[in-house]
Amino acid sequence: AQSVAQPEDQVNVAEGNPLTVKCTYSVSGNPYLFWYVQYPNRGLQFLLKYITGDNLVKGSYGFEAEFNKSQTSFHLKKPSALVSDSALYFCAVRDFPSGGYQKVTFGTGTKLQVIP
């Protein structure tokens, strides 16, 4: 069964500093990986995805993620954190079981706190 792990419950970073939110995955076959962000009392918003191709994926709001097959990781990064980046971040892996729907497994989420 596929799974993702987000080892950090919370990450604190000073405004202007680089940030990293960690994610590792376990899948059989090729991984389809995603990052989502959730602001309080809102739904999840898509940030970026890795399907195939370049290991460095660029997404919305200046975020990027680095796919590392040997380490089975897909860490989310941003060169300079903003206070407005404070939110809950989810890593996810997707599969397509029989039945025609997307089976998405989410990590437990990492709360990012950017300190002014």
Partner 1 sequence: SQTIHQWPATLVQPVGSPLSLECTVEGTSNPNLYWYRQAAGRGLQLLFYSVGIGQISSEVPQNLSASRPQDRQFILSSKKLLLSDSGFYLCAWSPERGLSYNSPLHFGNGTRLTVT
Applying the rule CB under 8 A, the residues between 47 and 106 that interact with partner 1 are 49, 51, 88, 90, 96, 99-104, 106
Tell me how many degrees the CA angle 4-10-14 measures, rounded to the nearest 5: 125
* Residues numbered 25-54 forming contacts with partner 1, rule: CB under 8 A: 34, 36, 41-46, 49, 51
**Least distance (Å) from partner 1 to the CB of residue 17?**
25
Q: State which residue, 54 or 70, has the beta carbon closest to partner 1.
A: 54
Q: Are β-strands 110-115 and 10-14 bridged in parallel, bridged antiparallel, or unpaired?
A: parallel
Phi, psi of 39, deg, nearest 5 = -90, 160
State the Cα–Cα distance between residues 116 and 42, nearest whole angstrom: 23
Contacting residues toward partner 1, per CB under 8 A: 34, 36, 41-46, 49, 51, 88, 90, 96, 99-104, 106, 108-109
